[in-house]
Structure formats: structure tokens, C-alpha cells
Amino acid sequence: MSYWSSWHDFLAMGGYAGFVWGSYAVTALALAAEVFWVSGRRRAALAHAAIARELREREAS
């Protein structure tokens, strides 16, 4: 059973389209930002680990 008789009705979401699609947009933006920030933190952690490894190798020599 379908609640909407057309694609326009589906996209309009019974008059709540701004809330529904806005919520999806905010969620997608938050997920994209999280991926961006996590990848930056990963790069920084790998760089920090490489520096620490280099320092340990220098001390061992």
C-alpha cells in the first residue's frame, strides 16, 4: 500500500518536506564532516607515529 499517489506527493512529505529532507541533509553533512575530520586525525596520528619511530631509531643507534 502506498501513502503517496505521485512522486510530487512523496517529495512533499505531506507538507513536512522541509523538516524531512532538511534532516537528511543535516545528517549527510554531519557524516561527511566526520569522515573528513577522522581522515585528518588519522593522517596526523600516522605522521606522529613516524616521527616517534624515527626518534627511537636515532636513540638506538
Q: What residue segments make up the domains of the chain, in order of their start?
A: 7-60
Cell 575530520, located at residue: 37
pLDDT for 9-54, tens place per residue?
Answer: 988 998 999 999 999 999 999 999 999 999 999 999 999 999 999 9
- For residues 54 and 61, give the distance between their C-alpha atoms in angstroms, rounded to a whole number: 11
Identify the pLDDT of residue 3: 79
Quote the CA–CA distance of 7 and 10 in Å, as a whole number.
5
User: Residue 13 and residue 20: Cα distance in Å, rounded?
Assistant: 7
Q: 59 pLDDT exceeds 80?
A: yes
